[in-house]
């Protein structure tokens, strides 16, 4: 089985291996570089990294290749798919709607999702956020895999949408009663994306753009798009069982197949802005962006 080697973009706010917060910036940079230079080879897929201490960037670098065929190395300003880190933005958007009094964490989701009737009166918004709803993970379903294969033919004409994806799991039985267990589920975050749209009357991508990306000046953060040109985009690679790197043989035409569970692209600089505001417990506004 091939495994993904998309190396997304972290180490955001804390320098992960420091022994003391009082270390000098030079020491922090030296330790970061020493660790990462050993972990990521110059001729293989790699990462971009940023470390922020007390609101100041103390380390920022790229390691490995952004494009192996062209020999383009990763720079720290490059754009990556951020995968499930998208869920943090989805959860933030939900909490913004809660703060505005537009929904409650303990509301039953059937109130906002008329198309999710089977279990809509059992599951709350809080269950979805905490992965305790018991909804099967759609990424494991055969129907989802079928849509992945058909996406390249249909999605460019908007024939595949969120409703198609919801149909892959909306009538399935729950894996356990809501609230009884924890089980990571992308399906729950698909539903949260739909709730954001139904409550705000905006698309998921527009709500995030207008309420998070633009206020924080996150100019390089966007909903995934493989059709339009994205400056500084880093390519995806796979690694087979023998350790050989290959091009990712499948790319969805848009982020719809991962949607609010993993459909965003960003840079370490933008993520540091977002992380700094969340860590400080500040409102999302231009004045609070680092």
As a residue count, the chain comes to: 290
Can you count the helices (H) and strands (E) in the chain?
9, 10
- Assign residue 10 a region: left if phi > 0, alpha if psi is -120 to 50, beta otherwise? beta
Burial class (CB in 10 A: 0-12, 13-18, 19+), 35: middle
Distance CA 124, CA 91 (A): 14
Residue with tokens 């943090």: 88
Candidates 20, 84, 163, 266; catalytic one: 84
Angle made by CA atoms 113, 117, 122, in degrees to the nearest 5? 90
Read off the tokens for 60.
Answer: 């920022």
Using alpha carbons, list the distances in angstroms from residue 207 to 4, 57, 125, 161, 214.
30, 28, 18, 18, 10
Active site residue 84: yes
Distance CA 283, CA 286 (A): 9
Using alpha carbons, list the distances in angstroms from residue 46 to 56, 202, 271, 275.
24, 36, 17, 22
For 54-79, the DSSP string reads TTEEEEEEEESEEETTTTEEP-TT-B
H-state helical runs in 101-231: 125-129, 142-154, 162-166, 186-200, 204-208
Q: Which residues are catalytic, by number?
A: 84
């Amino acid at each position: 089985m091939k495994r993904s080697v998309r190396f997304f973009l972290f180490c955001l706010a804390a320098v992960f291996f420091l022994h003391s917060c009082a270390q000098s910036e030079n020491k922090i940079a030296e330790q970061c570089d020493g660790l990462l230079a050993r972990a990521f080879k110059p001729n293989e897929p790699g990462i971009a990294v940023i470390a922020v201490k007390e609101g100041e960037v103390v380390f920022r670098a790229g390691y490995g290749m952004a494009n192996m065929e062209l020999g383009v190395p990763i720079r720290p300003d490059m754009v990556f798919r951020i995968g499930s880190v998208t869920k943090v933005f989805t959860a933030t958007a939900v909490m913004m709607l809660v703060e505005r009094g537009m929904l409650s964490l303990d509301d039953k989701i059937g109130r906002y999702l008329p198309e999710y009737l089977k279990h809509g009166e059992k599951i709350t918004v809080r269950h979805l956020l905490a992965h305790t709803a018991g909804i099967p993970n759609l990424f494991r379903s055969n129907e989802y895999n079928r849509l992945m294969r058909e996406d390249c033919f249909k999605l460019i004409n908007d024939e595949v949408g969120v409703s198609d994806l919801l149909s892959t799991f909306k009538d399935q039985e729950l894996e356990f009663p809501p609230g009884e267990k924890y089980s990571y589920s992308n399906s729950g975050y698909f539903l949260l994306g739909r709730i954001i749209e139904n409550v705000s009357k905006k698309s998921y991508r527009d709500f995030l753009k207008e309420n998070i990306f633009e206020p924080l000046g996150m100019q390089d953060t966007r909903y995934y798009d493989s059709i339009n040109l994205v400056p500084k985009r880093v390519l995806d690679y796979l690694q087979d069982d023998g350790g050989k790197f290959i091009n990712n043989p499948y790319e969805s035409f848009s982020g719809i197949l991962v949607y609010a569970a993993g459909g965003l692209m960003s840079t370490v600089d933008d993520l540091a802005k977002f992380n700094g505001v969340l860590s400080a417990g500040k409102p999302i506004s231009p004045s609070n962006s680092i």
